[in-house]
Structure 1
Amino acid sequence: MQRFTAPYASLPEETRGRVVPEAGSDYRSAFARDRDRIIHCQAFRRLKHKTQVFVYHEGDHYRTRLTHTIEVAQVARSIARALGLDEDLAEALALGHDLGHTPFGHAGERELDALMRPYGGFDHNAQSLRILTKLERRYAQFDGLNLTWETLEGLVKHNGPLINLEGDPVGRYRERGLPEAILEYAADHELELHSFASAEAQVAAISDDIAYNAHDIDDGLRASLFGLIDLGDVPLAGEALSRVLSLYPDLEHDRIVHETVRRVMSDMVSDVIAETRRRAESLKPQSAAQVRALGQPLISFGAQMQEKNRVLQSFLNDRMYRHEKVEQIMARARRVMHDLFDAYMSDPKLLPLTWQEQASPADTGLYARQVCDFIAGMTDRYALEQHKRLFDLDPLFR
Structure 2
Amino acid sequence: MSQTRASFAEDPAASRGRHVFEPASRTRTPFARDRDRIIHATAFRRLKEKTQVFVAHEGDHYRTRLTHSLEVAQIARSLAHALRLDDDLAETIALAHDLGHPPFAHAGEDELQAQMADYGGFDHNVQSFRVITELEVRYPKFPGLNLSWETVEGVIKHNGPVMHHLGEPAWKTVAAYAPGGGANWDLRLDTFASLEAQCAAIADDIAYNNHDVDDGVQAGLFTLADLAEVPLIGPCLAEARRDWPALDDRMIRLEAVRRMIGIMVDDVLAETERRLAEHRIVTAEDVRLAPQMMVQFSAGMMADLGVLRRFLFERMYRHYRVNRTRSQARRVLSQLFHLFMEEPEVMPPEWSAQALSDDPVKRARAVCDYIAGMTDRYAIEVHGKLFSLDLALDL
Please, what TM-score do these two structures have when normalized by structure 1? 0.94
Instruction: Report the Cα offset of residue 175 of structure 1.
Output: 8.7
What pairs up with 1:291-330 in 2 under 5 angstroms? 291-330=287-326
- Whole-Å separation in 1 of the counterparts to 2:310 and 2:199: 22
Where in structure 1 are there 5+ consecutive unaligned residues? 164-168
Percent identity for Structure 1 against Structure 2: 54
1:80 matched residue in structure 2: 80
- Whole-Å separation in 2 of the counterparts to 1:177 and 1:103: 22
What pairs up with 1:1-398 in 2 under 5 angstroms? 3-163=3-163, 169=164, 173=165, 176=168, 179-186=171-178, 187=181, 188=183, 189-392=185-388
Q: Which moved further from structure 2: 354-363 or 75-84?
A: 354-363
- Whole-Å separation in 1 of the counterparts to 2:172 and 2:161: 16
Instruction: Report the Cα offset of residue 103 of structure 1.
Output: 0.1
Instruction: Report the Cα offset of residue 4 of structure 1.
Output: 2.6
Instruction: Report the Cα offset of residue 5 of structure 1.
Output: 1.3
Q: Is the 8 A contact 1:119 1:365 kept in 2?
A: yes
Q: Is the 8 A contact 2:103 2:379 kept in 1?
A: yes
Q: Which moved further from structure 2: 202-211 or 356-365?
A: 356-365
Secondary structure, in 3 states, of the residue corresponding to 2:176?
Answer: helix
Q: Which moved further from structure 2: 2-11 or 87-96?
A: 2-11
Secondary structure, in 3 states, of the residue corresponding to 2:379?
Answer: helix
Instruction: Report the Cα offset of residue 346 of structure 1.
Output: 0.3
- Whole-Å separation in 1 of the counterparts to 2:147 and 2:389: 41
Task: Provide Cα deviations, 1:146-183, integer angstroms capped at 9, x if missing partner.
Answer: 001111111101011112xxxxx1xxx49946622212
Please, what TM-score do these two structures have when normalized by structure 2? 0.95
Measured on the aligned residues, the alpha-carbon RMSD in Å equals 1.6
Q: Is the 8 A contact 2:121 2:170 kept in 1?
A: no
Where in structure 2 are there 5+ consecutive unaligned residues? 391-395
Q: How many residues align?
A: 387
* Corresponding letter in the other structure for 2:123: D
1:166 matched residue in structure 2: none
Q: Is the 8 A contact 2:120 2:169 kept in 1?
A: no
- Whole-Å separation in 2 of the counterparts to 1:12 and 1:356: 41
Instruction: Report the Cα offset of residue 250 of structure 1.
Output: 2.3
Q: Taking structure 1 as reference, are residues 385 and 185 closer, same or farther at Cα in structure 2, changes over 3 Å only?
A: farther
Task: Provide Cα deviations, 1:238-272, integer angstroms capped at 9, x if missing partner.
Answer: 11111111111221011011001001101001111
Task: Provide Cα deviations, 1:286-328, integer angstroms capped at 9, x if missing partner.
Answer: 2111100001011011111111112111111111101111001
- Whole-Å separation in 1 of the counterparts to 2:212 and 2:279: 34
